[in-house]
């Protein structure tokens, strides 16, 4: 049976606990601008992706101090396969090396790593490294890092709907059970809280199929900085400014 068709029972959904009610518990980042950063330096796009990979650690390390418990980063979208073969192959190589290089540090610093996205198109070596890293760090709870790899919001909802339909076909659920909460239990993110804040770097103001379902009520911050130039200080400033936002979730202010 193909990997994506294996029906796994939904895990317990996120408990809804909050650390600091004023700060964002879950920050998601669209790390954009690597290509332009490299081109501005007359270097190949992959040079920018390597520089971008090095930025992750600094942002991740800042999370506990800023009260950010969940960090989700967009590493490769379901649409990114349209890039040149050289760039795609280079990115896949970078993901493998990143996992091998960072695994020990992530474990030591209390980071629990998860991957979201469809693994079916990823090569076996990369998938086994992803599985191993998830298992290795599964006892950690200081920061939860989720890496979106071959991820697309529409693709995720489609896969969830397919699995839900399968459960109905098997007689384990009926159409009466289908509501937003049930569907969310079939999403890749089922154990995560929804993002409170989504940051996109590089001056583009679009969401590019990232966490479509989960970001229904997220706050957005679009910054001009190219991802390889993004610093801990800028991250801290954005997180701090979130506290001033008035999130109403469709209701009116108190």
Binding mask 182-221 for ligand FPP (x = CB under 6 A): --------------------x-------------------
Q: For residue 222, how many other CB atoms are within 10 A of its CB?
A: 16
Q: Is 179 a catalytic residue?
A: no
Residue 167 near residue 124, CB atoms below 8 Å? no
Of 23, 24, 33, 153, which one interacts with ligand FPP (CB under 6 A)? Answer: 33
Q: Which of residues 74-103 bind ligand FPP (CB under 6 A)?
A: 75, 80, 94-95, 98
Contact between 52 and ligand FPP per CB under 6 A: yes
Token duo for residue 23:
């700060």
Residue at shortest CB range from ligand FPP: 35
d(CA 72, CA 215): 12
Contact between 223 and ligand FPP per CB under 6 A: no
Token duo for residue 183:
């569907």
Which residues are 114's β-sheet partners?
A: 146
Using the contact rule CB under 6 A, the part of the chain among 28-36, 59-67, 168-176, 214-222 near ligand FPP is: 28-36
The total number of residues shown for the chain amounts to 254
d(CA 183, CA 193): 14
Binding site for ligand FPP (CB under 6 A): 31-36, 45, 49, 52-53, 75, 80, 94-95, 98, 147, 202, 227
């Amino acid at each position: 049976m193909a990997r994506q068709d294996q029906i796994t029972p939904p895990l317990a959904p996120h408990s809804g606990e909050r650390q600091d009610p004023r700060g964002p518990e879950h920050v998601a980042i669209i790390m954009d601008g690597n290509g332009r950063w490299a081109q501005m330096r007359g270097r190949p796009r992959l040079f920018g992706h390597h520089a971008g990979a090095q930025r992750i650690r600094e942002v991740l390390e800042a999370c506990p101090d800023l009260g950010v418990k969940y960090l989700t980063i967009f590493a490769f979208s379901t649409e990114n396969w349209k890039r040149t073969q050289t760039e795609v192959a280079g990115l896949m190589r970078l993901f493998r090396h990143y996992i091998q290089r960072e695994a020990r540090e992530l474990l030591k610093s209390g980071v629990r790593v998860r991957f979201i996205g469809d693994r079916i198109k990823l090569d076996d070596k990369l998938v086994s490294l992803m599985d191993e890293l998830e298992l290795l760090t599964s006892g950690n709870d200081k920061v939860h890092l989720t890496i979106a790899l071959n991820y697309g919001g529409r693709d995720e909802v489609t896969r969830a709907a397919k699995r839900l339909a399968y459960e109905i076909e098997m007689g384990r659920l009926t159409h009466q059970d289908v509501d937003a909460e049930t569907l969310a239990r079939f999403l890749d993110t089922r154990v995560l809280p929804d993002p409170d804040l989504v940051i996109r770097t590089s001056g583009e103001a679009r969401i590019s199929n990232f966490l479509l379902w989960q970001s229904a009520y997220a706050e957005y911050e679009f910054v001009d900085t190219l991802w390889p130039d993004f610093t801990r200080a800028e991250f801290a400033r954005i997180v701090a400014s979130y506290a001033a936002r008035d999130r109403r979730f469709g209701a009116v202010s108190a």
